Amino acid sequence: LRLLVDDEPFDVRYGELHEHERVLDMRAGTLTRHACWSSPAGKRIRLRTTRLVSLAQRGVAAIEYVVEAVDEFVRVTVQSELVANEDVPQPSADPRVAAVLRTPLEAVQHDAGSHSALLVHRTRASRLMMAAAMDHAIDVPGRVEVNTDAGEDWARTTVICGLRPEQKLRIVKFLAYGWSSLRSRPALRDQVLGAVAGAKYCGWVGLLEAQRDYLDDFWDCADVDVDGDPDCQQAVRFGLFHVLQASARAERRAIPGKGLTGTGYDGHTFWDTEGFVLPVLTYTAPHAAADALRWRASTLDLARERAGELDLAGAAFPWRTIRGQECSAYWPAGTAAWHINADIAMAFERYRVVTGDESLEADCGLTVLVETARLWMSLGHHDRHGVWHLDGVTG
């Protein structure tokens, strides 16, 4: 969302920032920002934004955006956007990397309503289809003008109104996202339109209540008390919250090694998932741990192929992957990180012991354990003293 006060953009680098605070509420599952700012022309406003990525409704997010005039009349313009193929900072000076990252999405469809918009795209390489939709609820005293436009890679709803001192413009932006490798464009379009309509029907208050209920259940099970060290207490709770966010709606998909938005690892899944993330989830959100293990088991055929490429028996799971194939360009590490197979086997066993649920092992875990055992037998050897060795292993 972009805010203009009269014709000047809200930007803390310009004008005068009188107050500013951001609060992550891990009980409510919201990020709130308060600011009081004067434009270079001296027009003062208060701004409060609250952002929520729903843990209760799949693929839904929402933003409450409130602008208040402080001491004189101001004309306020808010531009709410969806943007695809946006330029991102390049982590590398390698021009080949820049070429790959430039416009990775092909436009498929774009539509605009009075307060709503839809974008549908397809990835150029993997041909995955994805869609994003937005809608708005607008509350303002007096006259307001709203218009929405859309292009191939953008959609924008513009809200313009005048505010007298202490009058407020309140906008709630509802968002929905979806993707598929199998479903048709109309099916995916209808999925996200239905999701954003459901979010708007639920309303901002309803989304907040559902988020609070979800997190109440989580913290009742997951909270850890650290006596005498508030900083450590906060760090532990933030870590638990971050792990939950990265996994709660993964739903049989990989959990990246740096979470959903971390730039490290480029979104790839490493052994960190089974080694560090799943032990936490097994105790705090076992359904999410089970989903992650089912995803890993779904890549077993690719792991068998990888073992065959290395002239080994069983299954060799990849060190670095997105969909189950080895993605590492660093051959020494990619062919020496055998511990990933033990991490996966241990994650299945830990889930069974902790939860008492043996259905996951019967469904897919046992096959993974058997193929892992076959790998060990072909990879290792006994020395002349009868000691078992695995040579050429990285940590």
* Residue 105, pLDDT score: 92
Which class in CATH covers the domain with range 230-389? Answer: mainly alpha
Low-confidence ranges of the chain (pLDDT < 70): 88-102, 261-263
* Residue 96, pLDDT score: 39
Give backbone dihedrals phi and psi of 92, rounded to 5 degrees, phi first. Answer: -135, 145
Q: In angstroms, rounded to a whole number, what is the distance separating the alpha carbons of residues 82 and 384?
A: 66
Q: Taking a C-beta distance cutoff of 8 angstroms, is the pair 361, 348 a contact?
A: yes
Q: Taking a C-beta distance cutoff of 8 angstroms, is the pair 169, 78 a contact?
A: yes
* Concatenated DSSP letters of 325-351: S---S-HHHHTT-THHHHHHHHHHHHH
By the 10 Å C-beta count (0-12 exposed, 13-18 middle, 19+ buried), 220 is classed as: exposed
* Residue 104, pLDDT score: 87
Q: Taking a C-beta distance cutoff of 8 angstroms, is the pair 61, 156 a contact?
A: no
Q: In angstroms, rounded to a whole number, what is the distance separating the alpha carbons of residues 83 and 301?
A: 37
Q: Does domain 2-217 have CATH number 2.70.98.40?
A: yes
Q: In angstroms, rounded to a whole number, what is the distance separating the alpha carbons of residues 267 and 250?
A: 13
Q: Provide the residue type at 361 as one letter.
A: E
What residues form DSSP beta bridges with 344?
A: none
Q: Taking a C-beta distance cutoff of 8 angstroms, is the pair 124, 105 a contact?
A: yes
| Domain assignments of the chain as residue spans, ordered by start | 2-217, 230-389
Q: Which residue, 215, 180, 176, 179, is CA-closest to 198?
A: 176
Give backbone dihedrals phi and psi of 18, rounded to 5 degrees, phi first. Answer: -90, -40
Residue 166: other Cβ atoms inside 10 A = 10
Q: Which residue, 207, 212, 215, 211, is CA-closest to 244?
A: 215
* Residue 76, pLDDT score: 97
* Residue 125, pLDDT score: 85
Q: In angstroms, rounded to a whole number, what is the distance separating the alpha carbons of residues 171 and 146?
A: 11
Give the total residue count for the chain.
395
CB burial of 321-342 (b: ≥16 within 10 Å; e: otherwise) equals beebebebeeeeebbbbbbbbb
* Residue 27, pLDDT score: 97
Q: Name the strand (E) or helix (H) holding 75.
A: strand 74-83
Q: Which residue, 196, 53, 182, is CA-closest to 117?
A: 196
Q: Provide the residue type at 48 as one letter.
A: R
Distance of CA 187 to the CA centre of its chain: 22
CA angle 96, 101, 106 (to 5 degrees): 130
- Helix 366-379 vs helix 339-355: crossing angle, to nearest 10: 150
Residue 111: other Cβ atoms inside 10 A = 15
Question: What's the pTM value of the predicted model, to 2 decimals?
Answer: 0.89
Q: In angstroms, rounded to a whole number, what is the distance separating the alpha carbons of residues 82 and 150?
A: 9
Coil, strand or helix at 234: helix
Q: Which residue, 271, 113, 311, 106, is CA-closest to 193?
A: 113
Q: Which residue, 303, 392, 287, is CA-closest to 344?
A: 303
**Interval 305-318: pLDDT, tens:** 999 999 999 999 99
* Residue 97, pLDDT score: 47
Could you tell me the two tokens for 150?
A: 């859309």
